[in-house]
Amino acid sequence: MLSTGKLRPTLGLVRRPWCAAAAGIHSSGRRLHNPDEVDLFDFRYTTPFVKNLFVGKFIREQVFPFPRLNQQDYDQLQQMVDPVERFFKDDVDSAQIDTDAKIPAETLQGLKDLGLFGMQVPLEYGGLGLSNTEYARLGEITAIDGAIAVTLAAHQAIGLKGIMIAGNAEQKAKYLPKLATGEHVAAFALTEPSSGSDAASIQTRATLSDNGKHFLLNGGKIWISNGGIADVFTVFAKTEVVDSKSGEVKDKVTAFIVERSFGGITSGKPEDKLGIRGSNTCTVHFEDTPVPIENVLGEVGGGFKVAMNILNGGRFSMGSSGAGIVKKLIEQTAEHATTRTQFDRKLMEFPIIQEKFAEMALRAYAMESMAYLTAGIMDRWPGGSPDCSVEAAMVKVYSSESVWSSVSEALQVLGGLGYMKEYPYERYLRDARILMIFEGTNEILRMYIALVGMKFAGDILKEKLKELKRGNIGVILQTVRQRWGSGFGMGPSHGFVSEDRFIGDGFKAHPSLTAGAKLLEENVNNLGTMTETLLARHGKGIVEEQLVLKRVADITINMYAMTAVVSRASKAVVMGLPNYDHEVLMANTFCQKTYNENMQMFHDLGGENTDAAVQKIGKDILKTGNYIAAHPLDRTHDFDNIDVVPPQR
Partner 1 sequence: MWPIFDYGRFVSIISSSDVYGVVWMRSLAQLHKMANLRVLVGVKRVIDYAVKIRVKPDNSGVVTDGVKHSMNPFCEIAMEEAVRLKEKKLAKEIIAVSCGPAQAQETIRTALAMGADRGIHVEVTGKSIDGDNNQTGQMTAALLDWPQATFASEVTKENDHLKVVREIDGGLETVKVTLPAVITADLRLNEPRYATLPNIMKAKKKKIAKHKAADFGVDLTPTLEVVGVEDPPVRQAGQKVESTEELVAKLKDSGVV
* Residue ranges in 97-126 that form contacts with partner 1 under rule CB under 8 A: 113-116, 119, 123, 126
- Segment contacting partner 1 (CB under 8 A): 26-34, 80-88, 331-339, 517-525? 80-88
Decide if residue 23 touches partner 1 (CB under 8 A).
no
Q: In this complex, which beta carbon is closest to partner 1, that of residue 90 or of residue 643? A: 90
Q: Distance of alpha carbon 44 from its chain centroid, rounded?
A: 23
For partner 1, the closer of residues 332 and 514 by Cβ is 332
Q: Are 257 and 237 in contact (CB under 8 A)?
A: no
| 161 contacts: CB under 8 Å, gap ≥ 6 | 120, 188, 234, 310, 313, 314
- Name the residue nearer to partner 1 (CB basis): 61 or 134: 134
Q: Give the nearer residue to partner 1 in terms of CB position, either 51 or 155.
A: 155
Asked if 406 contacts 360 with a C-beta cutoff of 8 angstroms, the reply is yes
CB atoms within 10 A of CB 304: 17
Please identify which residue in 10, 76, 194, 615 interacts with partner 1, judged by CB under 8 A.
76
* Residue 83 near partner 1 by CB under 8 A: yes
Q: Which residues pair with 187 in a beta bridge?
A: 233
Measured from the CB atom, is 80 or 360 closer to partner 1? 80
Query: Residue 56 or 115: which CB sits closer to partner 1?
Result: 115
**Residue 324 CB, nearest approach to partner 1 (Å):** 17
Selection from 239, 226, 238 nearest residue 283 by Cα: 226
**Residues in the chain, total:** 649
341 binds partner 1 per the rule CB under 8 A: no
Among the residue ranges 73-81, 161-169, 388-396, 487-495, the one whose residues contact partner 1 (CB under 8 A): 73-81
Compute the least distance from the CB of residue 126 to partner 1, in Å: 8
Burial of 641 (0-12, 13-18, 19+ CB in 10 A): exposed
Q: How far is the CB of 338 from partner 1 (least distance, A)?
A: 15
Q: Does residue 224 bind partner 1 (CB under 8 A)? A: no
Please say if 439 is a catalytic residue: yes
What residues from 577 to 606 belong to the interface with partner 1 (CB under 8 A)?
578
- Distance in Å, CB of 139 to partner 1, minimum: 14
Nearer to partner 1, 72 or 624 (CB): 72
- What is the size of the binding site for partner 1 (CB under 8 A)? 20
Catalytically annotated residue among 439, 467, 521, 583: 439
Q: What is the Cα–Cα distance from 450 to 453, expressed in whole angstroms?
A: 5
Q: How far is the CB of 578 from partner 1 (least distance, A)?
A: 7
- 197 φ, ψ to 5°? -65, -35
Give the shortest CB-83-to-partner 1 separation in angstroms.
4
459 binds partner 1 (CB under 8 A): no
Give the one residue of 18, 49, 87, 580 binding partner 1; rule: CB under 8 A.
87
> Of 324 and 491, which has the nearer Cβ to partner 1?
324
* Torsion (CA) 212, 214, 220, 226 in degrees, nearest 10: 150
What CA–CA distance (Å, rounded) separates 447 from 392? Answer: 14
Measure Cα distances from 448 to 339, 367, 423, 548, 597 in Å: 46, 20, 38, 13, 21
335 belongs to the binding site for partner 1 (CB under 8 A): no
Among 36, 37, 75, 287, binds partner 1 (CB under 8 A): 75
557 binds partner 1 (CB under 8 A): no
DSSP letters of 147-215?
HHHHHHIIIIIIITHHHHHH--HHHHHHHHHHHHHTSS-EEEE--BTTBSS-GGG---EEEE-TTSSEE
**Span of 84-92, 142-150, 291-299, 583-591 interacting with partner 1 by CB under 8 A:** 84-92
Give the DSSP letter string of 283-328. EEEEEEEEEEGGGEESSTT-HHHHHHHHHHHHTTHHHHHHHHHHHH
Q: For residues 126 and 485, which CB has a smaller minimum distance to partner 1 in the complex?
A: 126
The residue range among 75-83, 296-304, 339-347, 350-358 that interacts with partner 1, by the rule CB under 8 A, is 75-83
Residue 608 CA, distance from chain mean position: 31
CB of 78 to partner 1, least distance (A): 8
Contact status: 128 vs partner 1 (CB under 8 A): yes
Q: How many CB atoms lie within 10 A of CB 69?
A: 18
> Which of 4, 34, 79, 626 contacts partner 1 by CB under 8 A?
79
Interaction of residue 176 with partner 1, rule CB under 8 A: no
Q: Does 626 bind partner 1 (CB under 8 A)?
A: no
Out of 13, 59, 63, 80, point to the residue binding partner 1 (CB under 8 A): 80
Stretch 285-314 residues interacting with partner 1 (CB under 8 A): none
- State CA 560 to chain mean position distance: 11
Are 286 and 218 spatial neighbours (Cβ–Cβ below 8 Å)? yes
Least separation in angstroms between residue 580's CB and partner 1 is 14
Q: In 90-118, which positions are buried (b, 16+ CB within 10 angstroms) versus exposed (e)?
A: eebebeebbeebbbeeebbebbbebbbbb
Q: Facing residues of 206 across strands?
A: 217
Q: Which is nearer to partner 1, 79 or 244 (by Cβ)? A: 79
Query: CA neighbours within 13 Å on the CB side: how many for 582?
Result: 7
> Helix %, strand %, coil % for the chain, to 5?
60, 10, 30
Q: Least distance to partner 1 from the beta carbon of 323, Å?
A: 20
Please count the other Cβ atoms lying within 10 Å of the Cβ belonging to residue 305.
Answer: 14
Q: Which long-range contacts (CB under 8 A, 24 or more apart) does 192-195 make?
A: 192/219, 192/220, 192/221, 192/222, 193/220, 193/222
Residues in the site for partner 1, rule: CB under 8 A? Answer: 75-76, 78-80, 82-84, 86-87, 113-116, 119, 123, 126, 128-129, 578
Catalytic residue set: 439
